[in-house]
Amino acid sequence: MKLQVPFLQLPILFDAQAMAREVAAVDERWWRGRTERDDGNTALTLITTHGDPDSDELNGPMRPTPALEQCPYLMQALEALGATWGRARLMRLSGQAEVRAHVDINYYWRERMRVHVPIVTTPSVRFQCGEGEVNMAAGECWIFDTWRRHRVLNEGNDTRIHWLRTRSAANASGTCWGRRGPPDRAARTGGRCASRPRPDGRWRWISRPGTHRR
């Protein structure tokens, strides 16, 4: 989806540690390489066509995979964001690896936004999009302009895991869509992120099942 800025941070925070525990418990056999090369890029599908964990199809009824059904907090987080979801997956990037620069040109992405939530990350991970660059912190929620050339660099030695979800841009006016991250965050990214004010100035925290946080 085309945006007026490279990055947009949403005022919602997730419990990254709870997500990381669920991800660590998922069977390693469900991870698979994203390219034909062994370049440190692997993915684990969470929502696919018919819930088939091996499907990369863009069209058809989207259903949870067996991996997602084992992750109650991830399912709760999807519900909390209140949207019609398309594909979702975990994206794992090894240390000293990169997601090469590219543009998402398939028609499927024209009216859809990609939502990123870092689960495991470090300050050495840099997400570049157009003229913008940001280090997305664990538990934050971001969208970016998929029409601009973008890439990810993991210059540290630790593995990075992002939760990547696709949703329709139509009626994106729910709990947090299109609202703004804090001013200091915009400053740390060179003023290249984010956008509309939240009326109460507060962030929404999504607790894991069985807990409550004000």
Residue 210 scores a pLDDT above 80: no
Contacts of 60 (CB under 8 A, 6+ apart): 49, 50
Between 41 and 206, name the one with better pLDDT.
41
pLDDT tens readout for residues 19-44: 999 999 999 999 988 666 667 889 99
Quote the pLDDT of residue 208: 60
pLDDT tens readout for residues 165-178: 887 665 444 444 44
The candidate with the shortest Cα–Cα distance to 5, out of 192, 198, 140, 197, is 192
pTM assigned to the model: 0.78
Between 198 and 125, name the one with better pLDDT.
125
Average pLDDT over residues 177-200: 38
Mean pLDDT across the chain: 79
Lowest mean pLDDT among 4-18, 74-88, 110-124, 142-156: 74-88
Quote the pLDDT of residue 55: 87
Spatial distance between the Cα atoms of 163 and 68, rounded to a whole number of angstroms: 11
Confidence of residue 205 (pLDDT cuts 50, 70, 90): low
Quote the pLDDT of residue 114: 84
Six token digits for residue 118 = 């870092």
Spatial distance between the Cα atoms of 126 and 153, rounded to a whole number of angstroms: 5
User: Domains of the chain by range and CATH?
Assistant: 7-206 (2.60.120.330)
Residue 117 scores a pLDDT above 70: yes
